[in-house]
Amino acid sequence: MSNTNFDAETEAEPEPTTGDAEPAETAEVDAEASDGLPSVSIADPDVSADAIDRVRDVLESGALADGPEVRNFESEFAAYCGADHAVATSNGTTALHAALEALGVEEGDAVLTSPFSFVASANAIRLAGGKPVFADVDPETYTLDPDDVRRVLSERSDVVGLLPVHLYGLPADMPALCEIADERDLFVLEDACQAHGARITGDRVGTFGDAACFSFYPTKNMTTGEGGMITTDRDDLAERAQSYINHGRAETGTGGYEHVDLGHNYRMTAIAAAIGRTQLERLPGFNEARRETAAFYDERLSDLPLETPTEPRGYRHVYHQYTVRTADEAERDALAATLEERNVDAAVYYDTPIHRQPAYETISTAAAEFPEAEAAADEVLSLPVHPNLTEDERRSVVEAVHDHYHST
Ligand SMILES: Cc1ncc(COP(=O)(O)O)c(C=O)c1O
């Protein structure tokens, strides 16, 4: 099923790089595991010497918090995405929360998102006082299914916005989702926390909706340690978000202490911005390395009874995760066990859809409404695809997967 689209343009010369994944930041080592097999980690954050130099400059400058370093990172990130504005935040969750506040979400407003995502996508809606509502995902892309979005919208009138997630680095079907939003006058907030640099026909994520949010957690395609970013073309949203992350201050920077709204301190530090600026320079190389590994796996896993990731025509996947799908849960768990024995890190993103999380017990609708999200949660497994994988490591991953199927 894999159809990685190699006529998509290349962004830059491949360059070695970073890693990604939610539950835990896996500091990778070239260590030999106890049984002698080299271990292949799922993530390998790569913060280079130039980041260290730039952080040293910031430390020596004494300007450690908000200031020119953060402003520069914002304008460079906005330019990279092709957005008019960017607002740097303390992490991806605070970016989503601040963006929803800037979009005017109020107590009880329903916002429709994917049940098959990291919990932060829906948590941010609740933090803003809203009510997460879910629609099912497409079984091949794992992103919101526009037909199911229409079904849900036909049944309720309280939805004020859509929050699609570009899961694993693949953009959601933004043309269809934006059309639905236009018809019903809904806002669109992209959760691009896993998709820095991904595109649909030349347009980067971060430019399709009213606003978009990114995470710079260490496992992501680029990192600042912890950090986040909101992008938008709307002047009003940029201004409101910038104010919200700074206690509702009337203006940013060293202006007065007039606070026009309630807000938070969700600001990014200059230290994080310094790291981010160097990571952004390396992002095209990081993404290219991820895509090369994805192509390597696509080719070598295509004859096995599993599904490799889909890249719809015109889409450019950035493989935050390389996620395969097995026939059923037992098969997925058996493959994960084989990989663990072979010291290959593999991980399940996500084994519990959000509507079945204990924290969502009182607000979620029945699990049976999202059969595709349920099935995906049982059958997906992500293989290491971070940009620092060596040729030997990629081969070990492929060999381990093949050995699993040939021994069963
Ligand atoms: C899809 C998605 N949304 C939101 C977030 C939240 O980002 P952060 O961990 O930086 O708060 C993440 C990060 O893990 C994510 O993967």
Tokens, residue 293:
């590994």
Gap between the Cα atoms of 141 and 211, Å rounded: 22
The CA 320 to ligand 1 mean position distance, Å, reads 12
| For the CA of 216, the nearest atom of ligand 1 | 10
> What's 283-407's CATH class?
alpha beta
The C-alpha atoms of residue 192 and residue 229 are separated, in whole angstroms, by: 10
| Buried-state track 302-327, b at ≥16 Cβ within 10 A, e below 16 | eebebbbbbbeeebbbbbbbbbbbbe
**Residue of 189, 194, 220, 275 to mutate, ligand 1, most atoms within 8 A of C-beta:** 194
Nearest in space to 319 (alpha carbons), one of 339, 301, 300, 292: 292
* Rounded average pLDDT over 37-56: 89
The response to whether residue 323 sits with its C-beta less than 6 Å from ligand 1 reads no
- Asked if residue 375 has pLDDT above 90, the reply is yes
Residues forming beta bridges with residue 189, ordered by sequence position: 211
Query: Does the pLDDT value for residue 2 go beyond 80?
Result: no
Please indicate whether residue 364 or residue 405 has the higher confidence score (pLDDT): 405
Instruction: Say if strands 315-316 and 211-215 run parallel, antiparallel, or are unpaired.
Output: unpaired
Could you tell me the distance, in angstroms and rounded to a whole number, from the CA of residue 194 to the centre of ligand 1?
A: 7
Residue type, 11: E
Looking only at the bridges linking them, the beta strands covering 187-191 and 211-215 are: parallel
Is the CB of 214 within 6 Å of ligand 1?
no
- Torsions phi, psi for 55 (to 5 deg): -65, -40
The 10 Å Cβ neighbour count of residue 335 is: 22
Q: Do 189 and 206 contact (CB within 8 A), yes or no?
A: no
**Largest separation between any pair of C-alpha atoms in the chain:** 69
Each domain of the chain, given as residue ranges in start order, spans 49-277, 283-407
Separation CA 403–CA 304 (nearest Å) = 11
Q: How many CA atoms lie within 13 A of 268 on its CB side?
A: 39
pLDDT of amino acid 12: 45
Mutate to test the pocket of ligand 1, among 96, 168, 215, 219 (most ligand atoms within 8 A of CB): 215
Say what the pTM is.
0.92
Could you give the CA distance from residue 142 to residue 115 in angstroms, rounded to a whole number?
10
Local confidence band at 361 (pLDDT 50, 70, 90 cut-offs): confident
Give the pLDDT confidence of 227-248 residue by residue, as tens digits. Answer: 999 999 999 999 999 999 999 9
**Average of per-residue pLDDT across 157-169:** 97
Q: How many CA atoms lie within 13 A of 110 on its CB side?
A: 13
The answer, yes or no, to whether residue 17 has pLDDT greater than 90, is no
Report the CATH fold assignment for 49-277.
Aspartate Aminotransferase; domain 2 (3.40.640)
Rg (CA), the chain: 21
State the sign of the Cα–Cα–Cα–Cα dihedral 308, 312, 313, 314.
Answer: negative
- According to DSSP, the β-strands at 315-316 and 199-200 are antiparallel
Average pLDDT of 334-352? 97
Q: Whose CA is nearest to atom 8 of ligand 1?
A: 92
Query: What 8-state DSSP symbol labels residue 347?
Result: B
Query: What digits encode the pLDDT tens for the residues 70-107?
Result: 999 999 999 999 999 999 999 999 999 999 999 999 99
Instruction: Give the tens place of pLDDT for each residue, 21-39.
Output: 444 443 333 444 445 666 9
Interatomic CA distance for residues 143 and 121, integer angstroms? 13
Q: Which atom of ligand 1 is nearest to the CA of 320?
A: 16
The values of phi and psi at residue 324, to 5°, are -100, 165
Ligand 1 contact via 215 beta carbon (within 6 Å)? yes
Ligand 1, residue 227: give the atom nearest the CA: 10
pLDDT in tens, 243-294: 999 999 987 555 578 898 899 999 999 999 999 999 999 999 999 999 999 9
> 222 CB less than 6 Å from ligand 1?
no
Mean pLDDT of 165-173: 98
| Dist CA 265 CA 328 (whole Å) | 45
Cα-to-centroid distance, 142 and ligand 1 (Å): 16
The pLDDT score that the predictor gives to residue 95 is: 98
The answer to whether the Cα torsion of 104, 107, 109, 114 is positive or negative is positive
191 lines ligand 1 (CB under 6 A): yes
